Amino acid sequence: MSIAKIGVIGAGLMGNGIAHAALLSGFQVTLIDAFEAALPKAVATMTKNMDRQVTKGTITAEARDAALKSLVTGSDFALLRGADLIIEAAPEREELKAEIYRTLAPVLGPDTILASNTSSIPITRLATLSGRPDKFIGMHFFNPVPMMKLMEIIRGIATSDATFAAVHAVAEKLGKTVAAAEDAPGFIVNRILCPMINEAIFILHEGTGTVAAIDAGLKLGANHPMGPLELADFVGLDTLLAVMRVLHEGLGEDKYRPCPLLVKYVNAGWLGRKSGRGFYDYTVTPPRPTC
């Protein structure tokens, strides 16, 4: 099937980025969020980021204006009626995603594809909750979406070939390189990345190294563009914890146990950049380690 209209559920960091990338790739986009106040902030963020792209010469002012004119926002799921593809980009809570799928069901057309941007929850399980497993698929984008070139596409056990082909074509139009992953906890990237970050937190927790030493070690010793603790703050410590819990539950091995310090930070509301504090304090410039 040919996809022209895309719905995005969730106007947070990931949903905003997905909408941004889709608009600049020529899709009509409807961005939905249950919290009306999130929508003008999302549009302002998109506009600011597109303005930056215009300044850098990566897009034209005409392309920016055309993209923003193709955007519809609102809190009513009825606005998604007629969408060819709907991408759910809600937080990593299975019960929340299930509620979204139940609310969404009446507005879905017979051929509408439903995708989740989940970074770890099994696609087959979400597909069953959606009530349309043949037209359900995982589209795991990476942050920041407009710049990151990878997309993991994950089929559930019942995902049809037509659904996979249509979503693969969307990924190519978005300029993404596709990594097709099996439906296993964490898929490919997070199965490797999140335990590495979690181990860095254990090293901090045990007093083996400081925040500065751990991040410098991986940046200078392994040529990583960001240290693991800096990256954890960028991703969001709540998101990291959710992924680690899925890995621990799904794979049952102690090596996937979330570090107690990670749990403590999330309980304290220290979620990283988005909360202003995590392994770094973002109320000062440049950010400084909190321990």
- Tens-place pLDDT, residues 65-106: 999 999 999 999 999 999 999 999 998 889 999 999 999 999
- Catalytic residue selected from 16, 116, 117, 119: 119
CATH number for the domain harbouring residue 34: 3.40.50.720
Same domain for 111 and 208, yes or no, is no
Same domain for 57 and 145, yes or no, is yes
- Catalytic residue selected from 88, 92, 152, 230: 152
Rounded CA-CA distance 43/54 in Å is 16
Rounded CA-CA distance 103/225 in Å is 41
Same domain for 168 and 53, yes or no, is yes
Same domain for 156 and 221, yes or no, is no
| Domain boundary pick from 148, 181, 214 | 181
Query: What local confidence, expressed as pLDDT, does residue 18 receive?
Result: 98
CATH number for the domain harbouring residue 215: 1.10.1040.50
Same domain for 22 and 164, yes or no, is yes
**Is the pLDDT reported for residue 112 higher than 90?**
yes
Residues 29-53: what's their mean pLDDT?
96
| Domain boundary pick from 133, 160, 181 | 181
| Domain boundary pick from 149, 181, 213 | 181
**Is the pLDDT reported for residue 127 higher than 90?**
yes
Q: Helix, strand or coil for residue 286?
A: coil
- Tens-place pLDDT, residues 179-201: 999 999 999 999 999 999 999 99
36 is catalytic: no
Percent of the chain past pLDDT 90, that is, above it, reads 96
Same domain for 83 and 221, yes or no, is no
Same domain for 143 and 12, yes or no, is yes
- Tens-place pLDDT, residues 41-51: 999 999 999 99
**Is the pLDDT reported for residue 266 higher than 80?**
yes
pTM (2 d.p.): 0.90
88 is catalytic: no
**Is the pLDDT reported for residue 1 higher than 90?**
no
Residues 115-136: what's their mean pLDDT?
95
Total number of domains constituting the chain: 2
Same domain for 221 and 171, yes or no, is no
- Catalytic residue selected from 16, 92, 117, 140: 140
224 is catalytic: no
Same domain for 173 and 76, yes or no, is yes
| Domain containing residue 236 | 189-289
**Is the pLDDT reported for residue 129 higher than 80?**
yes
**Is the pLDDT reported for residue 2 higher than 90?**
no
